[in-house]
Structure 1
Amino acid sequence: MSLVARIEAATPEHRDRTIDGLRAVAIVGVVVGHWLVSALVSDPTRPSDWHGASPLPDRPALIPVTWLLQTLGLFFFAGGFAAARADGGHRALVTRVARLGRPVLVLAAVWVPAWLLLSAVGAPDDTLHVVRSLLVHPMWFLLVFLTLTGFAPLLRTAVTRYRLWSLVLPLALVAVSDVTRHLDAAAWLHPVATVAGWAAPYLLGIALAQDALPRRAGLVLLPAGVVTGALLVLVAGYPASAVGVPGDGWSNLDPPSLFAAALAAAQLGVFLLVRDRLAGWLRRPIVWAPVAGLNLMAMTVYCWHQSALLLVGFAGMLAGPLPGLLDEPAGAWPVHRLLWLPVFALVLAGLCAIFHRVTPSRRPPP
């Protein structure tokens, strides 16, 4: 049998392929988004001295791209759906937490010695800071996801009892955080607001698994998300970018704001409206095979995608200045960076081939 046929034959008939398709879109959005906004800039007089930069501050025309590539809400929605369908026992919960945490331990086992080696050979402090930031910063997602996974039984009970009214408390906490985020005394609320902000799509995922989120809900979520997001930006003064932009003063992701919740609602509204058609596409083995493969190694891809960027950057130092790599994100830099994406993807594929062997695969539900 061909690989495509084997994947098709191994897929349980009852598996909801649309959730896997949504998760695949989410991981691609996050990875490509990070690669496009994470500029590594090398000092022309000292190529090993790097600092981080972003192409967004001077290019407002790129802001709409962040609305498409900031897909964390889809991740948490898929996580909520999976948690509602999974075995709710204590042992199963421990197994899920271990499956999420093991890729991080593998990443640390590789990069902690590598970072110490860079420090020992005299790498500039700015370069060490950039490497540490690119590797560590994405891990906040896993901390929040693990937290919500631990609270999954309680969240399932909340949706069973209160249906979509269970969204009121987390969204209220996000609103309070937005109002008080400029007050130093409210800094303690940020971690709570971060969990609460992503609990909203997580709860919607649970609701879908419990048949409490029908297709017609997309007719509400999509326009409500778009209108709310527009009002927050145009009237309330929220940043228009879905990700942090240097110089904006505050970010819609740190912690997630009502704008982030509105964006997630709009994206999930689109998903609900196209879900039936998506299910039909994913019944085709040639379409389903890459989606299934990406889902099997989603955590490996997430953990190692910034490593691919760094490795290409290290190799680029040997070739001298190259447009879109290790240069200032000015002029035609976004176009040049697009040309580097296949290179990053190829290196990431190699890393996944190596490290997925020691990372547990995502198994279909029983």
Structure 2
Amino acid sequence: MRELRARWSALAAGIDAATPAGRDRAVDALRALAILGVVLGHWLVTSLTATDGGLHGTSPLAHLPWLAPVSWVFQTLAVFFLVGGHVAALGYASAPERGVSYGAWVRQRLGRLFRPVAAVLVLWTVVAGGMLIGGAELDTVRTLVRLVLSPLWFLLVFAALTAATPLVARLSPLWPAAVVAGVDLWRFQLGGPEWIGWINVAAGWLVPFTLGAAWARGALARRGRLRLLAGVGAAATAALILWGGYPASMVGVPGAAVSNLNPPTLAAVAFGLAQCGLALLVRDRLARLMRRPVAWAKVALVNLSAMTVFLWHQTAMMAVTALGLLVSVDLPGLHTVPDSVGWIAARVLWLPVFAAALGLCRAAFRIHEQARRPRPATVTAASRVPGTSAKEITHA
């Protein structure tokens, strides 16, 4: 144990020493927290029940609606779009100084997003085909594939907004927020068609993205503005839930008439504004925490494989669930119906197992997220970890 701690301390020191002095570590910390929030949220509110010889998706939120506040903690996509807008705006603004054209810049930005996707699609095409040939129920295969593919909508929207950075970087967040409000009014109050809500997929996530661009311009430097943003967002969210008829859950609930997430509603946008305001308020504290080598090393390693973690976390959960069937078809918290406090306690105990499975997926597939770079001439403490170098980590 002492030797392991010594190696980890050496690794952390190497990562800390290799990180450029001007890197904003708080931005990386917010990105890591956003990704991990989504992962833990999915693991807690997604359940695969074993019935009639197959696996079917459900959620504890459908059986235990009082759990809705859990979604307020783990629905952190707004923070990810906030960071994405901030980084994209800064990167595009500095591209001409570095002699980088728009085309080269956008290819570099999107390449890291989509390289890992190919591995997921190839593996699950083979797995789904094999399951069908082997006689698995169509509903089971459809459920599993839907869980795997569901995160891809996020990447498509994020990629589109990133590519549109030159057009939206100086757009006020009030404009897309107004579009979301208008669409919701038309959809819910004026009898508009359901499909009109999908306009909010772009408009809703454009709000935190443009907020991140405003952060990059220095428009959110005053803490008073951040407190106002967080307070108004929180008050608007509460009002929309209590008196506007919006659901309390900030994620989709199977069987619910309205989802705040698919597509995003005004309640989800207001909640995202509150969340972004809070994230920016704690930025200075995160920056101080990230001066500690051990804390920074953890964040850097998450960022190094952020897309791999995001794309494979559902696969990790499903792999554990499927392997559990070899032991029993009704393991508590894994195959049973999520309709009790006991299920919640059992699911929490499964989280380390899911994390271990995700670690294996990361080790196997992280190579697809990293562009090939020459190995540094000097071997640092970080490079003594197989498949990891300090140079890679500073590019996370």
> Which TM-score band applies after superposition, normalised by the shorter structure?
over 0.9
- Does structure 2 retain, via aligned residues, the 8 Å contact 1:177–1:186? no
1:4 aligns to what?
Answer: 12
- Does structure 2 retain, via aligned residues, the 8 Å contact 1:73–1:264? yes
From 125, 133, 141, give the equivalent of 2:138: 125
1:209 aligns to what?
Answer: 216
2:91 aligns to what?
Answer: 86
Q: How does 1:323-342 map to 2 (within 5 A)?
A: 323-331=332-340, 332-342=342-352
From 179, 182, 185, give the equivalent of 1:176: 182
- Other structure's SS at 1:40 match: strand
| Paired amino acid for 1:255 | P
From 20, 41, 44, give the equivalent of 2:49: 41
Q: Provide the rounded CA distance (Å) in 2 between the counterparts of 1:323 and 1:188.
A: 39
From 216, 224, 227, give the equivalent of 2:232: 224
User: Is 1:155–2:168 an aligned residue pair?
Assistant: yes
- Other structure's SS at 1:119 match: helix
| Paired amino acid for 2:11 | L
- Other structure's SS at 1:41 match: strand
Unaligned runs of 5+ in 2: 1-6, 96-101, 372-391
- Does structure 1 retain, via aligned residues, the 8 Å contact 2:15–2:393? no
Q: Provide the rounded CA distance (Å) in 1 between the counterparts of 2:366 and 2:84.
A: 20
CA drift at 1:38: 0.9
Q: Provide the rounded CA distance (Å) in 2 between the counterparts of 1:32 and 1:342.
A: 11
Question: Structure 1 365/289 Cα, relative in aligned 2: closer, same or farther at 3 Å?
Answer: closer
Question: Structure 1 311/365 Cα, relative in aligned 2: closer, same or farther at 3 Å?
Answer: closer
User: Is 1:305–2:313 an aligned residue pair?
Assistant: yes
CA drift at 1:65: 1.0
Q: Provide the rounded CA distance (Å) in 2 between the counterparts of 1:150 and 1:316.
A: 42
- Does structure 2 retain, via aligned residues, the 8 Å contact 1:86–1:365? no
CA drift at 1:364: 5.2
- Does structure 1 retain, via aligned residues, the 8 Å contact 2:184–2:197? no
| Paired amino acid for 1:6 | G
2:281 aligns to what?
Answer: 273
CA drift at 1:40: 0.2
- Does structure 1 retain, via aligned residues, the 8 Å contact 2:300–2:393? no
Give the TM-score, by structure 1 length: 0.93
Q: Deviations over 1:254-305 (max 9, x none)?
A: 1111111111111122122222121111111011000011011100000000
Question: Structure 1 354/365 Cα, relative in aligned 2: closer, same or farther at 3 Å?
Answer: closer
Q: Provide the rounded CA distance (Å) in 1 between the counterparts of 2:222 and 2:295.
A: 23
CA drift at 1:192: 2.3
Q: Provide the rounded CA distance (Å) in 2 between the counterparts of 1:273 and 1:11.
A: 24
| Paired amino acid for 1:169 | W
Question: Structure 1 118/70 Cα, relative in aligned 2: closer, same or farther at 3 Å?
Answer: same
- Does structure 1 retain, via aligned residues, the 8 Å contact 2:63–2:338? no
Give the TM-score, by structure 2 length: 0.86
Q: Deviations over 1:129-149 (max 9, x none)?
A: 111111111111001001101
Q: Provide the rounded CA distance (Å) in 2 between the counterparts of 1:181 and 1:71.
A: 25
Q: Provide the rounded CA distance (Å) in 2 between the counterparts of 1:294 and 1:365.
A: 12
Q: Provide the rounded CA distance (Å) in 2 between the counterparts of 1:5 and 1:201.
A: 34
Q: Deviations over 1:128-170 (max 9, x none)?
A: 11111111111110010011011011112x24xxxxxx11220
CA drift at 1:58: 2.8
1:64 aligns to what?
Answer: 69
CA drift at 1:188: 4.3
From 193, 198, 204, give the equivalent of 1:191: 198
Question: Structure 1 327/360 Cα, relative in aligned 2: closer, same or farther at 3 Å?
Answer: same
- Does structure 2 retain, via aligned residues, the 8 Å contact 1:215–1:273? no
| Paired amino acid for 1:346 | A
1:110 aligns to what?
Answer: 123
- Other structure's SS at 1:51 match: strand
Q: Provide the rounded CA distance (Å) in 2 between the counterparts of 1:173 and 1:269.
A: 21
State, as a whole percentage, how many aligned pairs show the same letter: 45
CA drift at 1:189: 3.0
- Other structure's SS at 1:57 match: helix
| Paired amino acid for 1:126 | D
Q: Provide the rounded CA distance (Å) in 1 between the counterparts of 2:145 and 2:395.
A: 36
